[in-house]
Amino acid sequence: MKSISAMVAVFAFLTLTFACRAGGADAAVVREKIKAGALVVDVRTPAEFASGAYQGAINIPLDQVEKRLADFGARKHAIVVYCRTGNRSGQAKVILEKNGFSDVTNGGGLKDMPPR
């Protein structure tokens, strides 16, 4: 019975761990988008952004994305969004796509972003 409980606990841990990256693109895809000139947008709060951000990223918090669509540039330009875990960036991706942006990639969390 202990081994079943232990397996269930491990399964739950792994599920939660990988769920945090849900919707995030493969690291190689993110790296190629950035290398090709994608706009990198951090959708965390200004305080989170100030505590450390991806080099070259701009900060447009999730709650401002829809109000600041002009700040994302051309609707066809590549955009990579990221946050802390990939959740808010996934929401930002949906908002941008609903507003006509055609090349939006969820980079996941800051820790998932490729080195510069």
Q: What are phi and psi of 105, to 5 degrees?
A: -120, 130
In three-state secondary structure terms, 77 is coil
- A 10 A CB-CB count for 51 gives 10
For 86-107, give the DSSP string: SHHHHHHHHHHHHTT---EEEE
How many Cα atoms sit within 13 Å of 33 on the Cβ side? 23
Q: Which residues are catalytic?
A: 83
